[in-house]
Amino acid sequence: MDRRRIAIVGGTGPQGRGLAYRFATAGHDVTLGSRDAGRAASAAADLGTLAGTGLRGDSNPGAAAVADVVVLAIPFDGHDELVASLADELAGKVVVSCVNPLGFDKHGPFGLDLGGESAAERAAALVPDAQVVGSFHHLSAVSLIDPDADLSTQDVLVVGDDAEAKTVVMDLAIAVTGRPGVDAGSLRLARQLEPLTAVLISINKKYRTHSGVAIAGLGH
């Protein structure tokens, strides 16, 4: 395994903490980023106890600055402003967007209409020098942080326009599911991956589970 220096922007949220836990457990060097560096440090200490290995906490820009791979585990609300503010730190790096632009109303969850775009494409437009990849949208935060949850039947779908960056992220998926992520095509297909999470949340509610996605026909 290539050991990566990974920053999780928005690393104190459920999705960020869950991914950080899995990456750290697999031996990657993980820094949680947060708007509040103190909160990040505190969350990192808690996760370190759970994972049995050290994680660091820092401000979002501080975490991003020292990483090779930066994971955006942030809400869609405020997404563009936050990404733009990190343009210097993200430039030249592999940036993984696992942002799910969802809305909720009395009929349940739904994908927000971004005018035919995706959060991942927005990030790519805001930081043209970064290699933006869309991935890790469909893993339940509850399962990610649960040491007993077996994610080995799930697939991590990876979309992007930079083949090398995509390979880095497909390899990172091994830390989560035990197998490489699935190359699911070009970055614009993040338009399909991001709101699919609304379907999973709907299924979770109906079946009282933490569902995930698997791709049949890959022979694994």
Binding mask 52-81 for a copy of itself (x = CB under 8 A): ------------------------------
Single out the segment in contact with a copy of itself by CB under 8 A; choices: 5-13, 40-48, 61-69, 150-158: 150-158
182 binds a copy of itself (CB under 8 A): yes
| The only residue of 6, 28, 108, 136 in contact with a copy of itself, by rule CB under 8 A | 108
140 binds a copy of itself (CB under 8 A): yes
Backbone angles phi, psi at 193, to 5 degrees: -70, -40
14 binds a copy of itself (CB under 8 A): no
211 binds a copy of itself (CB under 8 A): yes
Query: Element (H or E) spanning 174, and its range?
Result: helix 174-177
CA distance linking residue 136 with residue 219, whole number of Å: 21
Instruction: Decide if 55 contacts 80 (C-beta within 8 A).
Output: no
Q: Measured from the CB atom, is 11 or 160 closer to a copy of itself?
A: 160
- Kindly tell me the burial class for residue 74, based on how many C-beta atoms sit within 10 Å of its own C-beta (0-12, 13-18, 19 or more): buried
Instruction: Decide if 106 contacts 148 (C-beta within 8 A).
Output: no
124 binds a copy of itself (CB under 8 A): no
**Amino acid found at 185:** G
Q: What is the token pair recorded at 10?
A: 């928005």
Q: Which residues contact 178 (CB under 8 A, 6 or more apart)?
A: 151, 152
Instruction: Decide if 9 contacts 73 (C-beta within 8 A).
Output: yes
147 binds a copy of itself (CB under 8 A): no
Q: What's the closest the beta carbon of residue 207 comes to a copy of itself, in angstroms?
A: 6
| The only residue of 84, 87, 125, 215 in contact with a copy of itself, by rule CB under 8 A | 215
The residues that touch a copy of itself, with contacts defined as CB under 8 A, are: 107-111, 113, 116, 140, 143, 151, 153-154, 157, 159, 182-186, 188-189, 191-193, 195-196, 198-200, 202-204, 206-207, 209-219
